[in-house]
Amino acid sequence: MLLTIDAGNTRTKWAIFNELGEITQHDVCLNSGINSADLSPALFGYDHIAISNVAGEQHTMHLVGKLSPYHLPVHWVKATPQACHVINRYTKPETLGSDRWAALIATWNIKHAPCVVVNAGTAVTIDALNSCEINHEQYGEFIGGLILPGLDLMQQSLGLATAQLPKADAVQVPVAPTLEDIFAKITTGAIYNGAVHAIVGAIRQMVDALTQRSLQAPNIIISGGNALIINEMLTRHVTNQTIIVDNLVCQGLYLLATSTLNENSMKSDAQ
């Protein structure tokens, strides 16, 4: 059993996987509430831990304090040049965010085909996963991506940096916009729709660029807190080749941790 932890900029998600790679428990909390989360191995039965943390050193210390009493092996995931049949083409592979790396690993395992991988959280990441053949084997190839402010962050930044535009807590538009809503006639709608169209437009640009590179229409895999909003806009007006995958990063953490455990076991057997 494996506990996976996806510590993002705002929230920490966790999921427990059994020996078959199935999620048996999962939950989420604000980063500020991690100390109150019940992650006891006595309750859930896991014996290893894999973590992706992009929330900074302070949150690292909170996680260490939370988990150290359990005295279990902890694997802090970092991006590498290659893992789980995915090649990392970042100029400095180790500088790729561990959450993006895990999401790419999970996506390749799901589709084994070109994909645009979107994580719609505090920030939005839009990554291109191509396919390539090496020694007659198919590999996923991360060829690069985009990062932009998330839906909420875009709205907040306008409220903070301007005198007359409404603050983020006033910008609540519960219904996903249509293409016609680009002609917004109230300020709150203009802010909200502008943010949504900016994200969807960036995804469309990435889809077009990857289509030209791979010579086929890629799938779009979406995860994160605003996945439903982005997915509705995409499927209504752009493409139906979209899939929402919950706990995408946690799924990638499971694959990476399992691969590492298998490699270590093989090395031990060879010695």
Q: Which of 6, 47, 99, 152 is catalytic?
A: 99
* Amino acid (one-letter) located at 15: A
β-strand 137-149 against 219-223: which pairing, if any? unpaired
Give Cα separations from 202 to 70, 93, 118, 149, 179 (angstroms). 43, 23, 10, 11, 15
What are the tokens at 26? 């999962």
Quote the Cα angle for 103-106-109, to 5°: 150
Assess contact for 151 and 229: CB atoms under 8 A: yes
What are the tokens at 207? 């889809």
| Residue 241 CB-density burial (10 A; 0-12 exposed, 13-18 middle, 19+ buried) | middle
The answer to whether residue 208 is catalytic is no
User: What DSSP element (H or E) covers 175?
Assistant: none
What are the tokens at 107? 């996506």
* Amino acid (one-letter) located at 219: N
Q: Write phi, then psi, for 53 (nearest 5 degrees).
A: -130, 115
Active site (catalytic) residues = 99
